């Protein structure tokens, strides 16, 4: 129920806004939508009626902004381009909409009213089966069918929806199948005469059925990211009411059909692709006078000048973003420079254009209109891969240009006065972002700085120059507003930072020299927030100047300095920065001078220190112990290190990760009396040591304070590690212990403490024989996973507590012969897995707890036989069942027919494998599985049949592998089992996708 004040304010909302607002109740409260998305839906449902022509967009914007101003919609905190409804607003919308709008969410199989008109379908499940859509069959007058799927995931749809359900929805106006793995569409759209909105985005369709062109009322067609779609329908000209067509990301479309000249109501056309020999089709754009927003022309290498003139782009006043693309093959002999130059001349845009992109243009020079100062609104210009152009247009004359990108100009050797614009006193007055990239022959940048009356680039905030290997000289010396400078792979360039007073982010990778010629007083020298220096041939800045310029940057990254021996040789220090990364410096021996100490006037701010691929680094500086803010360290690929620290770790270090240090023997090498060390409290909480084959122990003498605050401990690939806590008790603060591929590890600790906080134990491929005593003392323990521990025999008889324990998995432990006797009493247990252990391992006499949700029994015939006799249906909460039947040679049916075995109704997943004599499925055993979603059958060579179709209606995924007889029976053209599986959304047999079927 909504607050009275909210309902009162709603009372004063105009009726047309109430209708739009109520419609949005079909969206979940956490759904973030775009403004354009909602407006297109409103338009399709007839909420934007206007007597004036082509006012839908304007009315929609007005309605939407009215609702935003009344706080009915608000911007998403995660994505400012999207909007959400507050929980209370969502509840109010549902209250107002009543039965007219409805949502099907998750596993709620609710029954909708026959009065329902607008519906969404929300599900996190990837496979949408027949059962999920049963509710829609009663909504005979449905107008909106809108599944809402998470982008980035793949979703599979039962063919029943396409072939049976949709043709019944004859009143539907909004239809979306966006995000489904659909390859082919049935040619049955002639029944959907009222359809106005159709969304196939992110599907895998190859073609659109001809019947789609009978949809006279269709206004919106969205085919975005349909990467396999090759053609639009040849009769697209029949869709005379089409208003919105989006084919962005449909890269397989190589040409447009004729007939676009009849789509005179079209306002949004994302792309127009001109195929080889179809250059004349660009003339059809002449009649599309209502185009607006962003528009892209592809395949312009096929267009001649006169055809381009007839497109009349300069008369399309609604286009504010224009992209002109020629083909990537500039070496093609059929392409003529003069033809492309003439075409570009006639593709002049309207003067209110805001964004322009020109890509793969083959002409030698640009048209004069591109740099025409009459383009007073142009704020973004990107010129890409125009490899034949020898000079740049005079874009400095564009008064409001803010973002300029020049990429892939092979012939440009000099940039000078023509770039800024001759006789222009204030070029690039508004430019804020300037990028040059991949200009392989660019040698000179004449910035014309000798002309004192000319102020160039006064507003520039970001300058990026990448992969310009022949660029000589220096950068512009006066950029008063520059904040970010990025120079990468310019191996001939001298970079000076002398006159950049506002610079705060600085990244240099691969330049010939770095200098600082600033003559300003030291108090005027600014410092950086972010500094990244990599592969600099010559660092020509005095050490004292380095400290002034770089000494207090928040982020310091040094990478790929072949000759760098120590940081101090160039004036760098560990002091003053917050985040430091040093990597790929093969000669680096030390970070600080041998006897370096913190000076009283120096402030230690370092929080994070990462060092990687510095082979000669053989010690870490003592000054680390004075860095009181240091909490995170990462050491990787430093083969010279034998120990991480002497005696003590840094005082406040909380997280430490050491990887691939092949000679590391100890974390701490104790060289002093333990008594002096025990007084130093170690705050380390998270420790990871990976691929350190020489590691023998955490400390050389068993220092007891190393792990007293440790909460997470991980080891991987430490082949000499034999014990962890040999001389000390198990760390009582440790919550998560994970050890992998440490074959010599036989001993973890002698005993667990009653006060221990341990929550999970995961051990893989280690030599342990048993876990420490006192498992029953671990009141917080939730999970034990033990895999491929060939020496592991069993647990102590003390057993496990039943208060928190949820997961127990043991596998590949050939000597493990008995489950804990208290298994049935562990009522908190949810997941149990026993696989490939001792052949004699047996079923606990008291059975398994009924609370199990996941059970895996692999190659344990004694357990399987006892479990069947005990009764699987006693596991009333079981959702996932995995059984590998190695050794179960007498099993002919599943579930076993002879004893009338019934599966638990709660099951959603069944995974069967290795049943050598299994022949058929006992259908009656499946009859109560209302939530059965996934069925996997592997290596059952004699299996011929599946359960009856009625038992599989809720199934979303079927996987069959190495079952030759069943494979033959499931063949779509002759198999007897095909009728049982044809409705399943996703079927794969022997790694081949059978459903959804992809036509040849």
Q: Where are the domains of the chain?
A: 2-98, 110-253, 272-389, 850-999
Per-residue confidence (pLDDT) for residue 945, from 0 to 100: 93
What is the pTM for the complete model shown? Answer: 0.88
Please give the DSSP secondary-structure letter assigned to residue 747: B
Among 785, 845, 832, CA closest to 813: 785
Per-residue confidence (pLDDT) for residue 98, from 0 to 100: 85
What tokens were used for 984? 């399943």
In sequence order, which residues have a C-beta less than 8 Å from that of residue 645 and are 6 or more positions away?
620, 624, 667, 668, 669
Out of 3.40.630.30, 1.10.10.10, 3.40.50.2300, 3.80.10.10, which CATH number does the structure's domain 850-999 have? 3.80.10.10
Per-residue confidence (pLDDT) for residue 894, from 0 to 100: 92
CA dist 615 → 248, 505, 569, 720 (Å): 48, 29, 18, 21
Q: Mean pLDDT for each consecutive 10-residue tract of the chain (1000 residues)? A: 66 86 87 91 87 62 90 88 88 86 70 80 85 83 90 86 90 94 89 94 93 94 95 94 95 94 95 94 94 96 93 94 94 88 95 96 94 92 95 92 96 89 77 96 82 69 95 82 93 82 88 76 63 86 78 88 83 85 90 57 79 90 83 94 83 93 88 52 89 88 70 94 78 92 88 84 92 84 93 71 85 86 84 88 81 93 86 90 90 86 92 94 90 95 94 94 94 86 94 82
Torsion of CA 169, 173, 174, 176, to 10 degrees: 50
Do 110-253 and 2-98 fall under one CATH topology?
A: no
Cβ–Cβ contacts within 10 Å for residue 671, how many? 11
Asked if 879 and 909 count as a contact pair (C-beta separation under 8 A), the reply is yes
What tokens were used for 778? 């671990």
Torsion of CA 343, 348, 349, 350, to 10 degrees: -150
Per-residue confidence (pLDDT) for residue 582, from 0 to 100: 93
For 974, counting Cβ atoms within 10 Å of its Cβ (0-12 exposed, 13-18 middle, 19+ buried), the class is exposed
Asked if 919 and 942 count as a contact pair (C-beta separation under 8 A), the reply is yes
Per-residue confidence (pLDDT) for residue 494, from 0 to 100: 87
Helices H / strands E in the chain, number of each: 15, 50
Strands across the sheet containing 643-646: 643-646, 666-669, 697-699
Per-residue confidence (pLDDT) for residue 602, from 0 to 100: 59
Q: Alpha-carbon distance 804 to 825, whole Å? A: 12
Per-residue confidence (pLDDT) for residue 208, from 0 to 100: 93
What is the C-alpha end-to-end distance of the chain, expressed in Å? 55
Asked if 529 and 553 count as a contact pair (C-beta separation under 8 A), the reply is yes
CA dist 480 → 473, 515, 525, 552, 558 (Å): 20, 18, 13, 21, 26
Q: Alpha-carbon distance 517 to 667, whole Å? A: 45
State residue 51 phi and psi, 5-degree precision.
Answer: -75, -30
Cis previous bond, 996, omega within 30? yes
Give the orientation angle of helix 4-11 with respect to helix 87-97, to 10 degrees.
60
Give tens-digit pLDDT for 633-685: 999 999 999 988 877 788 889 999 999 999 999 888 877 654 444 445 678 99
Q: How many CA atoms lie within 13 A of 318 on its CB side?
A: 14
Element (H, E) at 190: none
What tokens were used for 324? 């002109």
Among 782, 746, 786, 784, CA closest to 764: 786
Three-state DSSP at 856 gives: strand
What tokens were used for 917? 């004599």
Among 783, 889, 859, 827, CA closest to 847: 827
Mean pLDDT of all residues belonging to the chain: 87
Per-residue confidence (pLDDT) for residue 266, from 0 to 100: 95
CATH number of 2-98: 1.10.10.10
Per-residue confidence (pLDDT) for residue 99, from 0 to 100: 84
Per-residue confidence (pLDDT) for residue 676, from 0 to 100: 46
Please give the DSSP secondary-structure letter assigned to residue 164: I
Among 121, 151, 126, 124, CA closest to 32: 151
Q: Alpha-carbon distance 93 to 76, whole Å? A: 18
Q: Alpha-carbon distance 275 to 271, whole Å? A: 13
State residue 238 phi and psi, 5-degree precision.
Answer: -70, -20
Per-residue confidence (pLDDT) for residue 373, from 0 to 100: 87
For 595, counting Cβ atoms within 10 Å of its Cβ (0-12 exposed, 13-18 middle, 19+ buried), the class is exposed
Q: Alpha-carbon distance 658 to 562, whole Å? A: 23
Among 938, 931, 963, CA closest to 882: 938
Architecture category of domain 110-253 in CATH: Alpha-Beta Horseshoe (3.80)
Asked if 592 and 573 count as a contact pair (C-beta separation under 8 A), the reply is yes
What tokens were used for 872? 């699987």
Give the orientation angle of helix 35-44 with respect to helix 56-69, to 10 degrees.
120
Three-state DSSP at 214 gives: helix
Q: Can you tell me which residue has the tokens 């609604």? A: 318
Q: Alpha-carbon distance 161 to 667, whole Å? A: 61
Task: Give the residues across from 508 on adjacent strands.
Answer: 487, 533
Per-residue confidence (pLDDT) for residue 942, from 0 to 100: 95
Per-residue confidence (pLDDT) for residue 679, from 0 to 100: 47
Asked if 742 and 763 count as a contact pair (C-beta separation under 8 A), the reply is no
Q: Alpha-carbon distance 685 to 712, whole Å? A: 6
Q: Alpha-carbon distance 985 to 953, whole Å? A: 10
Per-residue confidence (pLDDT) for residue 260, from 0 to 100: 95
């Amino acid at each position: 129920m909504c607050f009275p004040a909210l309902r009162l304010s709603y009372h004063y909302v105009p009726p047309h806004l109430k209708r739009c607002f109520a419609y949005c109740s079909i969206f979940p409260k956490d759904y973030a939508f775009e403004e354009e998305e909602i407006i297109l839906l409103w338009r399709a449902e007839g909420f934007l009626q206007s007597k004036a022509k082509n006012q839908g967009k304007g009315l929609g914007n007005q309605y939407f902004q009215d609702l935003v101003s009344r706080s009915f919609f608000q911007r998403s905190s995660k994505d400012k381009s999207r909007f959400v409804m507050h929980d209370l607003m969502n509840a109010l919308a549902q209250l107002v909409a009543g039965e007219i709008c409805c949502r099907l969410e998750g596993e709620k199989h609710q029954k909708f009213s026959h009065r329902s008109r607008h519906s969404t379908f929300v599900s996190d499940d990837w496979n949408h089966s027949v059962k999920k859509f049963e509710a829609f069959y009663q909504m005979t007058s449905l107008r909106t069918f809108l599944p809402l799927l998470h982008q980035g995931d793949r979703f599979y749809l039962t063919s029943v929806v396409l072939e049976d359900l949709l043709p019944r929805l004859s009143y539907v106006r909004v239809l979306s199948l966006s995000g489904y793995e659909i390859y082919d569409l049935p040619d049955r759209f002639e029944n959907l005469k009222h359809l106005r909105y159709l969304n196939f985005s992110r599907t895998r369709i190859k073609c659109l059925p001809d019947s789609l062109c009978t949809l006279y009322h269709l206004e919106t067609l969205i085919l975005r990211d349909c990467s396999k779609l090759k053609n639009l329908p040849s009769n697209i000209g029949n869709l005379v009411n089409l208003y919105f067509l989006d084919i962005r990301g449909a890269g397989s479309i190589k040409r447009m059909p004729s007939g676009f000249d009849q789509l005179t109501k079209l306002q949004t056309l994302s792309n127009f692709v001109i195929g080889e020999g179809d250059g004349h089709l660009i003339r059809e754009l002449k009649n599309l006078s209502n185009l607006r927003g962003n528009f892209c022309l592809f395949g312009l290498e096929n267009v001649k000048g006169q055809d381009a003139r007839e497109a009349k782009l300069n008369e399309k006043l609604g286009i504010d973003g224009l992209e002109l693309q020629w083909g990537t093959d500039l070496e093609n002999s059929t392409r003529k420079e003069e033809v492309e130059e003439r075409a570009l001349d006639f593709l002049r845009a309207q003067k209110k254009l805001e964004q322009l992109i020109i890509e793969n243009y083959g002409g030698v020079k640009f048209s004069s209109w591109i740099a025409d100062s009459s383009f007073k609104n142009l704020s973004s210009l990107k010129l890409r891969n125009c490899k034949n152009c020898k000079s740049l247009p005079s874009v400095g004359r564009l008064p409001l240009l803010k973002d300029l990108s020049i990429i892939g100009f092979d012939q440009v050797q000099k940039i000078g006065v023509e770039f800024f614009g001759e006789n222009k006193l204030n070029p690039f007055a508004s430019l804020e972002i300037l990028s040059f990239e991949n200009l392989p022959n660019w040698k000179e940048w004449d910035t014309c700085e000798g002309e004192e009356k000319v102020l160039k680039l006064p507003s520039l905030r970001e300058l990026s120059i990448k992969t310009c290997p022949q660029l000589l000289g220096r950068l512009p010396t006066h950029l008063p507003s520059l904040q970010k400078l990025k120079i990468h792979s310019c191996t001939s360039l001298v970079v000076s930072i002398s006159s950049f007073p506002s610079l705060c982010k600085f990244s240099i990778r691969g330049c010939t020299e770095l200098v600082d010629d600033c003559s300003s007083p030291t108090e005027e020298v600014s410092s950086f927030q972010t500094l990244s220096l990599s592969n600099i041939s010559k660092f020509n800045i005095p050490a004292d100047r380095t400290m002034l310029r770089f000494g207090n940057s928040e982020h310091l990254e040094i990478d790929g300095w072949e000759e760098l021996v120590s940081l101090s040789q160039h004036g760098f220090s560990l002091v003053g920065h917050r985040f430091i990364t040093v990597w790929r410096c093969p000669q680096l021996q030390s970070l600080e001078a041998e006897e370096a100490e913190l000076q009283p006037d120096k402030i230690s701010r370092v929080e994070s220190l990462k060092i990687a691929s510095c082979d000669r680094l053989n010690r870490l500086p003592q000054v680390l112990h004075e860095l009181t803010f240091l909490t995170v360290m990462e050491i990787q690929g430093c083969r010279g290190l034998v120990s991480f620290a002497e005696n003590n770790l840094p005082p406040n270090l909380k997280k430490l990760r050491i990887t691939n240090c092949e000679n590391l023997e100890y974390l701490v090498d104790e060289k002093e009396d333990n008594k002096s060390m025990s007084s130093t409290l170690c705050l380390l909480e998270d420790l990871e040591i990976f691929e350190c084959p020489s590691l023998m122990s955490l400390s050389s003498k068993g220092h007891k304070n190393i792990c007293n605050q440790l909460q997470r401990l991980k080891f991987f690939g430490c082949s000499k590690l034999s014990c962890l806590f040999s001389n000390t008790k198990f760390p009582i603060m440790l919550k998560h212990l994970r050890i992998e591929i440490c074959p010599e590890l036989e001993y973890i600790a002698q005993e667990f403490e009653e006060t221990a906080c341990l929550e999970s134990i995961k051990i893989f491929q280690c030599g342990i024989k048993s876990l420490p005593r006192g498992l029953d003392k671990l009141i917080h323990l939730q999970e034990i996973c033990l895999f491929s521990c060939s020496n592991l025999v069993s647990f102590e008889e003390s057993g496990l507590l039943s208060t928190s324990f949820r997961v127990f998995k043991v596998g590949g432990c050939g000597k493990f012969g008995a489950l804990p006797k208290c298994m049935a009493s562990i009522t908190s247990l949810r997941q149990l897995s026993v696989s490939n252990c001792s052949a004699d391992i047996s079923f606990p006499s008291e059975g398994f707890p009924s609370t199990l949700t996941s059970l895996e029994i692999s190659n344990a015939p004694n357990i399987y036989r006892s479990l069947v006799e005990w009764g699987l249906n006693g596991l009333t909460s079981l959702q996932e069942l995995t059984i590998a039947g190695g050794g179960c040679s007498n099993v002919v049916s599943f579930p076993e027919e002879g004893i009338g075995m019934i599966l638990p109704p709660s099951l959603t997943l069944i995974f069967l494998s290795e049943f050598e004599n299994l022949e058929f499925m006992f259908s009656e055993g499946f009859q109560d599985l209302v939530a059965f979603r996934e069925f996997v059958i592997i290596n059952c060579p004699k299996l011929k049949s599946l359960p009856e179709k009625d038992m599989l209606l809720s199934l979303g995924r079927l996987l069959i592998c190495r079952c030759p007889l069943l494979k033959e029976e499931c063949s779509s053209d002759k198999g007897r089992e095909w009728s049982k599986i044809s409705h399943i959304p996703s079927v794969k047999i022997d790694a081949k996708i059978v459903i959804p079927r992809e036509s040849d």
